[in-house]
Amino acid sequence: MEEAVVTDITRAALPPAPGADRYRSLDFADTAATLPAGQAYDLLAAPDSARSWLLAHNLTSEEVRLYELCAGRMRTLRGHVRSLFAARVDGTAPPEAALRAVNDALTAVPSAPLLAWDGAQGLRRVESHPTDQAVNHALAILAADAADLLTGADADLLAACGSAPCDRFLLRTHGRRHWCSTRCGDRARAARAYARRTGASE
Residue 8 corresponds to which amino acid? D
**What average pLDDT does the segment 109-128 reach?**
80
Give the least confident one: 8-17, 28-37, 133-142: 8-17
Q: Are 108 and 139 in contact (CB under 8 A)?
A: yes
CA-to-CA separations, 194 to 152, 162, 188, 199, 201, in angstroms, rounded: 39, 16, 10, 8, 11
* Nearest-angstrom CA–CA distance, 177 and 168: 13
Per-residue buried b or exposed e for 92-125, using 16+ beta carbons within 10 Å of the residue's own CB? eebeeebbebbeebbeebeeeeeeeeeeeeeeee
**What average pLDDT does the segment 175-190 reach?**
73
pLDDT in tens, 35-77: 887 789 999 999 999 999 999 999 998 888 999 999 999 999 9
Q: What is the pLDDT of residue 10?
A: 42
| Closest residue by Cα to residue 44 from 33, 34, 35, 53 | 53
pLDDT in tens, 75-84: 999 999 999 9
Q: Work out whether the CA dihedral 79, 84, 141, 176 comes out positive or negative.
A: positive
Top-ranked range on mean pLDDT: pick from 11-15, 35-39, 99-103 = 99-103
Residue 179: other Cβ atoms inside 10 A = 23
